[in-house]
A and B are shown apart, each in its own frame.
Chain A
Amino acid sequence: SAVISQKPSRDICQRGTSLTIQCQVDSQVTMMFWYRQQPGQSLTLIATANQGSEATYESGFVIDKFPISRPNLTFSTLTVSNMSPEDSSIYLCSVAVGGINQPQHFGDGTRLSIL
């Protein structure tokens, strides 16, 4: 198991600004993931962040818009850049602990509203 802390838990931001979301895990993990959950919809994987390598982005997500850092095995950040109202969403950090048939653990998310 793993305990994940995300900061901030929520924020209201102005159009055109950027926000960095932090994800702290209470144990060392290799695989960390960033998801987006739009209102009433399922989770969508933004990128996979492994320590020591560049993040791997899913189709529809680019590094310029969602830069990710993974400086060590317990921490990662996701930045939402040049925000627009379409970026209003919940952003969740997740980690995989154990084998492929073990559950992923999620943080409580960051609720982002863009005015």
Chain B
Amino acid sequence: KNQVEQSPQSLIILEGKNCTLQCNYTVSPFSNLRWYKQDTGRGPVSLTIMTFSENTKSNGRYTATLDADTKQSSLHITASQLSDSASYICVVSGTTDSWGKLQFGAGTQVVVTP
């Protein structure tokens, strides 16, 4: 069973509008949570990474939140642009001493239309 669940699977938004993507996880123990953006035909690119003690982090128009108590995270995109069309992947690191042991969500496919 996937320990990282993302919703919605996909969404379509108008250019200039805001949207919020959700991520729920059951991974334990928890080390950090990452959001990646993956453009079609490209590898994932890191947007934010948050540890247990952080509950919000921004990267330009992207703002991620983390509630470690409820094991939920969100990614908010402000004033969307056509270039925001991509898959957004939530990734949880479940250990404190092991590299690469990342649990990947299936991603939310975002399409921004003019």
Q: Is A96 an interface residue (CB 8 A)?
A: yes
Q: By DSSP majority rule, is chain A's interface helix, strand, loop, or mixed?
A: strand
Given known pairs A4-B43, A96-B100, the reply for A102 and B49 (CB within 8 Å) is: yes
Question: Do B31 and A101 have beta carbons less than 8 Å apart?
Answer: yes
A-B contacts besides A41-B106, A44-B104, A106-B44, 7 pairs, CB < 8 Å: A42-B89, A43-B102, A48-B100, A94-B100, A101-B51, A102-B49, A106-B43
Question: Do A48 and B42 have beta carbons less than 8 Å apart?
Answer: no
- Range of interface residues on chain A? 20 to 34
- Range of interface residues on chain B? 20 to 34
Q: Is A75 an interface residue (CB 8 A)?
A: no
Question: Do B105 and A42 have beta carbons less than 8 Å apart?
Answer: yes
Q: Is A87 an interface residue (CB 8 A)?
A: no
Mark interface residues in A44-59 (1 if CB within 8 Å of B CB, else 0): 1100100000000000
* Residues of chain B lying within 8 A (CB to CB) of residue A106: 43-45
Q: Is B96 an interface residue (CB 8 A)?
A: yes
Q: CA–CA, A35 to B44, complex, Å? A: 12
* Residues of chain A lying within 8 A (CB to CB) of residue B102: 43, 45, 104
Q: Is B85 an interface residue (CB 8 A)?
A: no
Q: Is A62 an interface residue (CB 8 A)?
A: no
* Residues of chain A lying within 8 A (CB to CB) of residue B89: 42-43
Mark interface residues in B90-114 (1 if CB within 8 Å of A CB, else 0): 0001001101111011110000000
Q: CA–CA, A45 to B98, complex, Å? A: 13
Mark interface residues in A81-115 (1 if CB within 8 Å of B CB, else 0): 00000000000101010001111111111010000
Q: Is B34 an interface residue (CB 8 A)?
A: yes
